[in-house]
Amino acid sequence: MGKQREFYDKPLFSLLNHISCLLLGGLYFILLNIPLIFFYTVTSVDINQFSIILLFICLIPFGLALGALYSTMGEIIREKDISFSSYFFKAYKNNFKSNLKLWFLELILLTIFFVDYQYFYLNMPTKGLHIIFLILGIFVLILGLYAFPINCRFNVKLKDLIILSFYYSIKRFHITLLKIVITLLAFFIVSKIHAILVLFIPSILCYVLTIYDMPIFSELEQRFLSQNKATAN
């Protein structure tokens, strides 16, 4: 038994375990986003098939899969060794409603801003109004970089989640910029280097971003603990 435990604690086993988890995470993420992949494939062949409504529908599973991936990567960072598949789908199920609320709100805002951007860009390009909606869309995406990890770790109301995401995106502005750069780099790697990397990129991205969020988690845990003690007293 001691020798078996010693084997599991070895760096090589830990490395192989992490690689398998990253691969599984990417695989599950892709499988859950088959509608979006199908939409992208069809519109790449024929742009006339593009439909904003159909894109909206195909994007719904994206937020749910992203939430489950964030939850699982956070658990790996904390516990090192987990039953990946079991935890991933458990997180998907347990956080389904809260992730759906968050993502649905974000998706509606992004759709509105996209439509407005397109309208003003095509009809009033010289007035620069389209830039406003581009900035608003980027801002919503930035909030999502904080909202999903927090939502997957804590049980908070949607309004409080948005406030917390806004607060930390400003308070930790240097980390916010770093998150943006890392996310853009991930998209660049997938699009320019090799498509096979898409199997690893989603998991690696969530893993790295969650590491940067660990100080936030510690701060919120202390805050909620203090609030619970105050309520109890």
pLDDT digits over 56-67, tens only?
A: 999 999 999 999
The whole-model pTM stands at 0.87
SS3 61: helix
- Dihedral angle, C-alpha 123, 126, 129, 133, nearest 10 °: 80
Q: Domain map of the chain by residue range?
A: 2-232
Predicted local confidence at residue 8, as pLDDT? 47
Q: What is the widest separation between alpha-carbon atoms in the chain? A: 73
State the CB neighbour count (10 A cutoff) for residue 35.
16
State the CB neighbour count (10 A cutoff) for residue 55.
17
pLDDT tens digits, 103-113 = 999 999 999 99
At 58, give phi and psi (nearest 5°): -70, -25
Buried b / exposed e over 110-123, threshold 16 CB at 10 Å, is bbebbebbeebeee
Query: Which residues of the chain have a pLDDT value below 70?
Result: 1-14, 193-197, 228-233
